[in-house]
């Protein structure tokens, strides 16, 4: 996708003109750009079973910190306008070290800790334990779609076990920069965290540190060389979603993006059978670059 208005701040001919041009552009560009179709405000709609947890918690913190900031700004601006130095006006003399002041400070600190921190902490712990960091353990999600991810400069290698459900066999499905998984509509709002077919990933890297970022699934995890990291999500709607690299990995870091294709369960089964059969037919044991599977980590 290209956007044409990236040329609008191009014509810098001299410093004076530049300043004038930028002021005019700033005034004219912002509303125009917001009105365009190919623009977006905020992340794209969540498409995973626990993506709402990020959206809800983000908004909760926006409200809590927003109110705190407003209170601070009122306390800043009132004296700035009311208590300006002028003839006949004298500042009050107050060291703020009376018992009353100390108590007041302590009470405000406790309130801030409870409202801003403890509240958010409790919600975040729940979200981690039920969602983000609740990677299915052995036997917890027998239907899980398992994927091994090997990042490299500058591409994503995905390996799925194929119809035999074993990694490191000739029918493993290998894809580059494109991950195909099934949607599990029943996982949306389900109290069984692993309802449907959760996607569980093992991540590693061939060279430098990369980070698999799936914005619509609201998940991100580093792919470290020499180690295997785990992550999971359950897609709830078919569609094409973004795969991005979030950790600086060299020259083409910005180009290390791919596509997450979420298919309906039936379409996925058909795709898996066909892709697995094709992989088996095209298998070449001398192709050293394709032999990178590891023992599944649960």
Partner 1 sequence: MSGEHKGGFLSTYVFSKDHKYIAKQFLWFGLIWLLIGGVMAMMIRWQLANPGEAFPLLGKLFFPRTGGVIDPDAYNMLFSMHGTIMIFLGLTPALIGAWGNWCIPLMIGAPDMIFPLLNTLSFWTVVIGGAVGAYSLFVPLGALEAGWTGYPTLSTTVGTPGSGETLWAIAVFIIGASSIMGGINYITTVVRLRAPGMTWGKLPLTIWGLFFTAVLNVLFLPVIGSAMLLLIFDRVYGTQFYVPATLTSGGGDPILYQHLFWIFGHPEVYILILPAWGIVSDLLSFFARKPAFGYRATVGAMLAVTVLSAVVYGHHMFTTGLSPMLGESFMLLTMIISVPGEILFFNWLHTIWKGSLRLNSAMLFSLGVIFVFGLGGLTGLFLATIATDIFLHDTYFVVGHFHLTMAASALFGAFAGIYFWVPKMYGRLMDERLGKLHFWCTIIPLTTVFCTMFVSGWSGMPRRYADPTSSPYVAELQYLNEITTIAAFILGAAQLIFAFNFIKSCFWGKKAPDNPWEVGTLDWIPAYPVPHGNFATTPTVVTGPHEFSHPALGPDRDWISQTEALPETEGKTA
84-123 binders of partner 1 (CB under 8 A): 84-86, 89-97, 101-102, 105, 108-109, 112-113, 116-117, 120-121, 123
The verdict on 36 binding partner 1 (CB under 8 A) reads yes
Furthest C-alpha separation in the chain: 94
Letters for 183-212 (x = contact with partner 1 by CB under 8 A, - = none) are: ---------------------x-xxxx-x-
Q: 127 vs 172, which CB is nearer to partner 1?
A: 127
Q: 19 vs 270, which CB is nearer to partner 1?
A: 19
Q: 97 vs 286, which CB is nearer to partner 1?
A: 97
Give the C-alpha distances (Å, rounded to integers) separating 24 from 9, 13, 16, 20: 10, 15, 13, 6
- For the segment 147-166, give every residue that binds partner 1 (CB under 8 A): 153
Cβ–Cβ contacts within 10 Å for residue 252, how many? 11
- Whole-angstrom Cα distance, residue 101 to residue 96? 6
Say which residues have a Cβ less than 8 Å from residue 54's Cβ, sequence separation at least 6. 46, 127, 218
Inter-residue contact 169 to 161 (CB < 8 Å): yes
Residue with tokens 């009132």: 78
Q: How many residues sit in the footprint of partner 1 (CB under 8 A)?
A: 112
Inter-residue contact 194 to 228 (CB < 8 Å): no
Tokens of 199: 């996607």
Letters for 57-86 (x = contact with partner 1 by CB under 8 A, - = none) are: xx--x--xx--xx--xx-xx-xxx--xxxx
Q: Give, to the nearest 10 degrees, the angle between helix 51-82 and helix 119-127.
A: 160
Q: Which of 224, 106, 201, 101 is nearest to 145 (CA)?
A: 201
Tokens of 264: 């309906």
Q: Which of 212, 74, 57, 84 is nearest to 147 (CA)?
A: 212
Q: 122 vs 282, which CB is nearer to partner 1?
A: 122
- For the segment 252-271, give every residue that binds partner 1 (CB under 8 A): 252-255, 257
Q: 23 vs 273, which CB is nearer to partner 1?
A: 23
The verdict on 176 binding partner 1 (CB under 8 A) reads no
The verdict on 221 binding partner 1 (CB under 8 A) reads yes
| Smallest separation (angstroms) from partner 1 to the CB of 217 | 10
The verdict on 247 binding partner 1 (CB under 8 A) reads yes
The verdict on 131 binding partner 1 (CB under 8 A) reads yes
Tell me the pairing of strands 258-263 and 239-245. Answer: antiparallel
Q: 145 vs 245, which CB is nearer to partner 1?
A: 245
| Smallest separation (angstroms) from partner 1 to the CB of 214 | 10
| Smallest separation (angstroms) from partner 1 to the CB of 79 | 4
């Amino acid at each position: 996708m290209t956007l044409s208005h990236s040329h609008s701040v191009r014509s810098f001919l001299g410093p004076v003109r530049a300043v004038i041009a930028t002021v005019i552009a700033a005034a004219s560009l912002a509303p125009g750009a917001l009105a365009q179709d190919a623009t977006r405000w905020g992340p794209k709609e969540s498409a995973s079973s626990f993506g709402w947890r990020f959206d809800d918690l983000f908004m909760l913190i926006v409200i809590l910190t927003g109110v705190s900031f407003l209170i601070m700004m009122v306390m800043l601006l009132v004296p700035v306008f009311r208590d300006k130095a002028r003839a006949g006006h004298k500042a009050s003399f107050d060291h703020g070290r009376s018992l009353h002041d100390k108590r007041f400070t302590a009470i405000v600190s406790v309130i801030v800790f409870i409202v801003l921190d403890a509240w958010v902490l409790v919600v975040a712990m729940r979200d981690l334990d039920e969602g983000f960091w609740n990677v299915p353990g052995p036997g917890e999600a027998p239907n899980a779609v398992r994927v091994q991810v090997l990042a490299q400069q500058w591409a994503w290698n995905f390996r799925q076990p194929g119809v035999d459900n074993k990694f490191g066999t000739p029918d493993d499905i290998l894809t580059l920069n494109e991950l195909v998984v099934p949607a599990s509509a029943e996982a949306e709002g389900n109290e069984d965290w692993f309802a449907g077919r959760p996607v569980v990933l093992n991540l590693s890297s061939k060279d430098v540190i990369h980070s698999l970022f799936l914005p619509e699934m609201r998940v991100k995890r580093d792919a470290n060389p020499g180690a295997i990291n785990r992550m999971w999500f359950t897609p709830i709607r078919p569609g094409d979603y973004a795969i991005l690299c979030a950790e600086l990995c060299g020259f083409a870091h910005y180009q290390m993006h791919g596509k997450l294709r979420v298919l309906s369960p039936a379409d996925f089964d058909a795709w898996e059978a066909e892709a697995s059969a094709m992989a088996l037919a095209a298998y070449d044991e001398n192709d050293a670059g394709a032999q990178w599977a590891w023992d599944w980590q649960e």
